[in-house]
Structure 1
Amino acid sequence: MMFAADNIRLRALEPEDLEWLYSVENDEELWQWGSSNVPYSRYSLKTYIAESRHDIYADGQLRLVIETEDEHLVLGCVDLMDFSPRHLRAEIGILLFPEYRGRGVATKVLGMLVSYAREHLYMHQLYAIVSQKNMKAQHLFERFGFKRVSLLADWLRDKEEDYVSAYIYSFRL
């Protein structure tokens, strides 16, 4: 599976992605944005890559690698998760490595993912849960047309062990 725009493409995970995936999944700084706070072994991630069908209906989620088309440089990954086949909606999460942020990559990726969700998965809705502290992500989703629909009070526990509220952003396809 591959989607591309302006030298950025999305592709399925490959076995050679194991090391950077291992570093991302075990980066304690990133745990505050997700729901996991346990380390993953290389073995479990290798098994995940090997056994993933890259089918959101079978796996309930879809992770795609963000990379440059010309040099195949990995910039991060994007996830559709908590997929509901009944309601045809999924949560979206975008992770860009720090050195590639602020370059318009996330906007391109969001556009590709929305198109894919609409045209190939026939989804009805995408949503994102965004920390009140993450102004860049709020601006990204708002610029793209996602609507802030709810506030989740004290939803995320940050690295200082304080609770931070989060917004739900929704986009109807």
Structure 2
Amino acid sequence: MDAERFLTDGVVRLRRFRADDPAIDFAVLWYQDREVLDGAGGLDEKPFDRTRIERMYRYLDTHAELYIIEVRDRAQWLPIGDVALAPHTTPIVIGHPGWRSRGIGTRVLALIIGRARELGYPAVWAKEIWAHNVRSQRLFERMGFRRVEEGVDDQGRSWYRYRLDL
């Protein structure tokens, strides 16, 4: 795999997703986790099965730059989540619970912001962050994003939209 397919700060590595990616096996575990599901789809989100994850990853890989988030664990890189960069959204999931609240999201978002600058994006967006997902709100606000919109989806769930002008 060539160097262009990685973004790294030495602690965190974002590896471009590939169709036969073994990280899908990890993702099946991540998307069973209640905290991940609450952040991804709201408080009533059902666990994702492998088929749904593969479909989601195919969509993101077609419409965005999809990365597997990896951290150095002993002598190897361990997949712990996923992130995508698209013109109007930046979904991020730290799927492995042991790596949450350890600064990984901040590092990931810094790498994604750098990549967006390279691509000439005028802004980076967090399309929908659920009102109950305070951890994500704090992450994006800490990185300089501004809350620019709020709304309620068709199921009555409140969300916020964030933007960082580049």
The verdict on a shared fold, with TM-score over 0.5 as the criterion, is yes
Query: Following TM superposition, by how much is the alpha carbon of 1:63 offset from its aligned partner in structure 2, in angstroms?
Result: 1.6
Kept after mapping to 2: 8 A contact 1:156/1:165: no
Identity percentage of aligned residues: 24
Match 1:62 to one of 52, 65, 75:
65
CA RMSD in angstroms, aligned pairs only: 2.9
Instruction: Give CA deviations for 1:78-134 in whole Å, capped at 9, x if unaligned.
Output: 122xx4xxxxx2201111122111110000000000000111x21122111211111
TM-score by structure 2 length?
0.76
**Greater strand share, 1 or 2?**
1
2 CA distance for matches of 1:78 and 1:156? 25
1:60 aligned partner, one-letter code: H
2 CA distance for matches of 1:146 and 1:39? 29
2 CA distance for matches of 1:118 and 1:44? 28
Matched residue, 2:80 = 75
Query: Following TM superposition, by how much is the alpha carbon of 1:18 offset from its aligned partner in structure 2, in angstroms?
Result: 2.5
Equivalent positions of 1:1-173 (< 5 A) are: 1-14=5-18, 15-25=21-31, 27=32, 29=34, 30-34=36-40, 39-42=48-51, 45=54, 59-69=62-72, 70-80=75-85, 83=86, 89-96=87-94, 97-119=96-118, 121-128=119-126, 129-153=128-152, 155=153, 163-173=156-166
Structure 1 residues 118 and 41 mapped into 2: Cα distance closer, same or farther (>3 Å)? same
Structure 1 residues 156 and 98 mapped into 2: Cα distance closer, same or farther (>3 Å)? farther
1 CA distance for matches of 2:28 and 2:10? 28
Gaps of 5+ in 1: 84-88, 158-162
TM-score by structure 1 length?
0.73
Kept after mapping to 1: 8 A contact 2:17/2:68: yes
